[in-house]
């Protein structure tokens, strides 16, 4: 009888013991995962200083590939102060900041987090950008990875955008730099784009606000795209087909039909830039008569009917030789061909612009000063 009574008790004790073991194991597993998650978060938040350095290639240049912690970025931008915002787009915001103990001014681009973007792809993008080094590309100084955020630190361009030296916010031409200087900036931008294209990189958003001017008045291309090797297949499809890339007034009309970006899409956009430089007016201006709203269409019409010289920016009209104007306009017109296959490569555009400069240099020039704010430029 006693043995019979003890039997259910033993079973109960065994069940309790088994349950306790299971609970203990479960608690241990949960604690392990929590600890592991905290460790990963610490690694991500400090990726700019430790983890990233393991995979980022080393370069001779001090500036390229420097890793920053998130705290360093916050300090550089006064905790991302709105007063320091110098650019806003679908990607996120660009802040003016200072690094290296406040001795170096930089532009800090904080990208909006993308849930579809893996850390591997983020690292691949930064590594690819770090390899792009050219005198006419804005240089990547460093980066910061915080969780799934990608923060890029770029060299600061003291003289702003090319557009700022053509016309003001109301669209009126400004007394800025000479024709020779504008042409030199176009050549610089063409060199930067040619370099990207030879590496298989499509810019996707060429315009006068993505061509920046440094302290020495050298034009550099900014906001360029990533090489295909740095993008997942999903990202490539998103960039190519999910929405219209670029800005209205600059976008390749062929792209609207096929929704496929090529290097010739950049060439079309650059053709608009060339006419924008020549005429000092916006790519789109709804306030103008219907036949002048689109700069591309208006410029092509002027070229066809022989009135292009009359449409040149009055500030520089007397500086352009007929031979230089002819070669420059011919180059811009070819860029705006309807079919991509009819447009030149950026290498061809660069050669023609350099020829236009040679034609300009072959004519005697007067030392005629042009004042631009606190700087004096000469034709």
Over residues 97-102, mean pLDDT: 92
Q: pLDDT value at position 37?
A: 54
Q: 151: which residues sit within 8 A by CB, 6+ positions away?
A: 48, 68, 70, 73, 108, 109, 110, 111, 143, 144, 145
Cα within 13 Å of Cα(188), Cβ side: 24
Q: pLDDT value at position 145?
A: 86
**Residues marked as binding for ATP?**
109
Over residues 205-215, mean pLDDT: 96
Measured between alpha carbons, how far is 343 from 331 in angstroms, rounded to an integer? 10
Q: pLDDT tens for residues 108-127?
A: 999 876 666 667 777 788 88
**Residues marked as binding?**
109
Provide the residue count of the chain. Answer: 379
Q: pLDDT value at position 105?
A: 96
List of domains in the chain: 51-155 (3.30.200.20), 163-378 (1.10.510.10)
Q: How far is Cα of residue 186 from the mean position of the Cα atoms in its chain?
A: 17
End-to-end Cα distance, the chain: 117
Measured between alpha carbons, how far is 185 from 187 in angstroms, rounded to an integer? 5
Q: 59: which residues sit within 8 A by CB, 6+ positions away?
A: 65, 130, 133
Over residues 80-91, mean pLDDT: 88
Q: What are the DSSP E strand ranges found in the chain?
A: 66-67, 85-89, 92-99, 104-111, 140-146, 149-155, 211-213, 219-221, 369-372, 375-378
**Contact criterion met (CB below 8 Å) for 266 and 202:** yes
Whole-model pTM? Answer: 0.77
Q: pLDDT tens for residues 216-272?
A: 999 999 988 766 554 445 445 444 444 556 688 999 999 888 888 899 999 999 999
């Amino acid at each position: 009888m006693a043995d019979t009574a003890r039997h259910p008790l033993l079973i109960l004790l065994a069940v309790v013991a088994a349950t306790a073991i299971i609970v203990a194991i479960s608690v241990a597993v949960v604690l392990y995962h929590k600890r592991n998650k905290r460790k990963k978060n610490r690694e991500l938040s400090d990726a700019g200083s430790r983890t990233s350095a393991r995979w980022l290639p080393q370069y001779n240049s001090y500036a390229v590939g420097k890793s920053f912690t998130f705290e360093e970025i916050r300090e550089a931008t006064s905790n991302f102060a709105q007063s320091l915002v110098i650019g806003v787009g679908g990607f996120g915001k660009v802040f003016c900041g200072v690094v290296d103990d406040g001795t170096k001014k930089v532009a800090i681009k904080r990208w909006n987090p993308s849930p579809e973007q893996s850390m591997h792809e983020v690292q691949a993008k930064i590594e690819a950008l770090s390899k792009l080094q050219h005198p006419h590309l804005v240089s990547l100084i460093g980066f910061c990875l915080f969780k799934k955020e990608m923060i890029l630190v770029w060299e600061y361009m003291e003289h702003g955008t090319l557009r700022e030296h053509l016309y003001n916010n109301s669209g009126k031409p400004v007394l800025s730099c000479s024709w020779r200087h504008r042409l030199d900036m176009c050549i610089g931008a063409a060199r930067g784009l040619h370099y990207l294209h030879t590496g298989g990189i499509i810019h996707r958003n060429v315009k006068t606000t993505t061509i920046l001017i440094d302290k020495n008045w050298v034009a550099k291309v900014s906001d360029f795209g990533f090489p295909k090797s740095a993008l997942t297949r999903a990202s490539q499809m998103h960039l190519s087909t999910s929405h219209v890339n670029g800005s209205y007034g600059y976008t390749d009309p062929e792209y609207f039909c096929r929704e496929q970006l090529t290097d010739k899409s950049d060439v079309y956009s650059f053709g608009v830039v060339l006419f924008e430089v020549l005429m000092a007016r916006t790519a789109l201006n709804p306030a103008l008569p219907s036949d002048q709203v689109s700069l591309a269409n208006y410029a092509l019409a002027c070229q066809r009917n022989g009135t292009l010289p009359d449409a040149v920016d009055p500030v520089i009209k007397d500086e352009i030789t007929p031979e230089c104007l002819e070669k420059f306009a011919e180059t811009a017109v070819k860029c705006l061909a309807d079919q991509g296959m009819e447009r030149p490569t950026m290498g061809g555009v660069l050669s023609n612009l350099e020829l236009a400069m040679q034609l300009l240099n072959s004519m005697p020039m007067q030392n005629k000063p042009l004042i631009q704010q606190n700087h004096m430029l000469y034709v």
